[in-house]
Structure 1
Amino acid sequence: MIYDVYCFLKNEANGRSDTQIKERTAEATKTSLCTVRRIVKEAEQSEFLTVFRTPGKKHARSKPVTGIDNFDQGVIKRCIHNFHLTNNEIPTVTKLLTKLRSDINYQGSERSLRRILKDLGFKWKATENNRKVLIEKTSIRLQRIKYLEAIQKYRHEGRPIIYTDESYVHASHTSSKAWTDGSKKGLKKPISKGQRVVMVHAGSEAGFIPNGLLMFKSGAKTGDYHDDMNYENYSKWLTSQLIPNLPPRSVVVVDNASYHNTQYNLAPNSNSKKCDMQAWLTEKGISFDPTMYKPQLYELIKTNKENLKNYNIDRLLAQHNHSVLRLPPYHPDLNPIEMAWAAIKGYVSSKNVAWNVTRVMELVKQKVDAMGSSEWQKLCSKVRSIEDDYCKSDHVVDQLTDQLVIQVGDSDSSSSSDWEVFDDDEPGPSTSTNPSTNPRTSTSFADFEGFTPLSDSD
């Protein structure tokens, strides 16, 4: 609007200088002269006069460092676990930051890395000299161990392992760089991301499941593609596209998205009727005394309900003699289709010059059709090697934590002090500066009594 007023006054200049026109524009629009100068300069430098930067406007976007995608999360997790194998020690933030910068060109700060580690399920525990070392939550380690045992059992039985996942790609998804001679001619990336295309598919060592690709335009206005996918849409895809094309006795691997975990026959809550509590316990074969009060009955329900959950998709697949296996939380690196999505998006970015939804869908379909069994076998082989690394690192973690950690227990609760991280080079809150009395002075792992560096075979 300010620029339109400037142009109007300029057309009726009547001998006024450009400075005078800008002053009159500022007076007419009740803005500062500096603002008018900035807007006019921006318009003169822009090839498209109708496009202006909006000062102060907040756009929904992911954080540049901590808002990393699932694939990068998996890379960081593997880097942490491989640190145990390659360095024979538990990493501190300082050591881990150095390794991530050299291995994967991580650009974030220590503060950002701490936030990412917390989101990935890692926490800090005190050692004998009150220093903090990086330990994965026991509950997450347990779920991963159970998952690895289950998938190895299914493979031993010869059952096909089918990996499923959902992802998305924007209509403007293209390479961020291109050759240019410095002029304004050539390929220009759109300012807007455009409409989002949601993708759902499944694959195994034999390749993508035939006729399993589902693509549709996003209808959600939030930044989360999970808002487009719900249990209703997901169950339709299961029944119409996935189940009819699955090999016999398949094991379908899914992540922990909410629509994968919708339940039927929910356990009663503390406000349920007493008769409903008794009926649920009876149905599940859990003995109870008829004279028990509601709080006592609910205590029984709480003790048993975690192991007696009934999921809708499990029942749906079981009706066709298939099983469901859920990935442990924060472990997209155990799903080869995540790497397949990365390859598909890379193909789209290299070919997308039209920046419309129809063309993006065509490019996704082209890459999916081109990815055969040989490429999928490589992806699955890579995931198997990652599984082996986790198994090896779990043995190393057990040995190291036995020697280092004294704050043990099954509780995964963390207070605010759990996240006051002190690295090798950072003194803690103690006021003492004498190394002999300050428990937070730099100490090598060799200073721990009984510590012996592990060999590669260990």
Structure 2
Amino acid sequence: MFHDETWVNIGEEKRSIWIDNRGRGRLRKTGGKDIRLAILAMLDANGFHLPSVEIFDCSKDHSMTSMHFIEWVKKTAFRLREDREPTENSKSAKRSMRKHEIIEWLDDHKVEFDSTLRKPELFQLASDNKPRKEYKVDIVAQEFNVQILRLPRHCSLNPVEIAWAGLKEYIRKNNTSFSLTDVRQLASEFIAGFDDKAAQGTMHYAEKVETTYKKADEFVENAVEPHLIDDISDTEIDKLSDISDDRSE
């Protein structure tokens, strides 16, 4: 099953001008974006998993918090999106860290090292000992014996994102009252009517996009990268960074 969240506001409408079948219409307005609905749900080949659907009021500055999401995890017990908040102990050392910060990281993670090592060597040691990432949502999901699989961060590779695009288009075509109640109703109508054919269509589309990306990667790897010339190697960059750190200490 696939998961993601989206939002719609009461001002969702066609891009320029619209007229309904009763002759009513207006030019597009920009108002209404402060009041919106957040929507999250699961999708499989049969359509949306209706028990997992949640629609709630929110503002443009607040849609989904980690606590709200974790509570949703507990209620649905199905595969969920990454909350992108790793636990403190699972954070890895970064190349952008200063030398003393890498040393602190090694100390905090009880990794033995030679104090005479330079920054590139210390960073390599930290990389070799980086902990396995743990996410709060994984810990919660384990209570339900659920395994979470994470997609690459690209909307075209997630069928739910494709479905959300259809949902927003449906609301824009049918939103004539611009009330939160009616927008909620339109969202519910779209989700309930999203059948197996529509769901499988989003998955086939995502698969086609994935194939396109793979072909592009293969082309770059075989036809482009062999002809690239690096003026500065990674080793030289590390040395320059190390010299900069030494001068600032």
Answering whether residue 155 of structure 2 is matched by residue 315 of structure 1, we say no
Q: 1:238 aligns with which of 73, 90, 94?
A: 73
Q: 2:163 aligns with which of 312, 335, 340?
A: 340
Gaps of at least 5 residues in structure 1 are 1-161, 247-251, 412-458
Matched position secondary structure for 1:173:
coil
2:71 counterpart letter in structure 1: K
Q: 1:214 aligns with which of 33, 54, 66?
A: 54
Matches of 2:102 and 2:215 in 1, distance apart? 46
Alpha-carbon shift at residue 302 of structure 1 (Å): 3.1
Cα distance, 1:163–1:305 mapped onto 2, change above 3 Å: farther
Aligned to 2:109: 280
Q: How does 1:18-57 map to 2 (within 5 A)?
A: none
Q: 2:229 aligns with which of 393, 406, 409?
A: 406
Alpha-carbon shift at residue 405 of structure 1 (Å): 2.0
Aligned to 2:25: 187
Answering whether residue 144 of structure 2 is matched by residue 349 of structure 1, we say no
Alpha-carbon shift at residue 261 of structure 1 (Å): 2.6
Contact 2:50 2:192 in 1 (8 A): no
Matches of 1:409 and 1:336 in 2, distance apart? 40
**Residues 346-402 of structure 1: per-residue CA shift (max 9 Å, x gap):** 111111111011110011001000002221111111111222222222222212114
Q: TM-score, normalised by structure 1?
A: 0.42
Cα distance, 1:253–1:219 mapped onto 2, change above 3 Å: closer
Matches of 1:400 and 1:407 in 2, distance apart? 16
Matched position secondary structure for 1:197:
strand
Q: After TM superposition, which residue ranges in structure 1, 4 or more long, deviate above 6 angstroms?
A: 271-274
Matches of 2:142 and 2:165 in 1, distance apart? 31
Matches of 1:264 and 1:319 in 2, distance apart? 21
Gaps of at least 5 residues in structure 2 are 94-99, 235-249
- Give the structure with the larger strand fraction: 2
Which is higher, the Rg of structure 1 or of structure 2? 1
Q: 1:374 aligns with which of 193, 197, 218?
A: 197
**Residues 220-242 of structure 1: per-residue CA shift (max 9 Å, x gap):** 5x4xxxx42111111111111x2
Q: 2:6 aligns with which of 125, 142, 167?
A: 167
**Residues 48-107 of structure 1: per-residue CA shift (max 9 Å, x gap):** xxxxxxxxxxxxxxxxxxxxxxxxxxxxxxxxxxxxxxxxxxxxxxxxxxxxxxxxxxxx
Contact 1:352 1:359 in 2 (8 A): yes
**Residues 23-58 of structure 1: per-residue CA shift (max 9 Å, x gap):** xxxxxxxxxxxxxxxxxxxxxxxxxxxxxxxxxxxx
Answering whether residue 178 of structure 2 is matched by residue 178 of structure 1, we say no
Q: 2:63 aligns with which of 225, 228, 236?
A: 228
Matched position secondary structure for 2:74:
helix
Q: Number of paired residues?
A: 222
Q: TM-score, normalised by structure 2?
A: 0.73
Answering whether residue 84 of structure 2 is matched by residue 260 of structure 1, we say yes
2:24 counterpart letter in structure 1: G
Matches of 1:334 and 1:267 in 2, distance apart? 26
Matched position secondary structure for 2:25:
coil
Contact 1:267 1:301 in 2 (8 A): no
Matches of 2:225 and 2:91 in 1, distance apart? 38
Cα distance, 1:211–1:333 mapped onto 2, change above 3 Å: same
Aligned to 1:387: 210
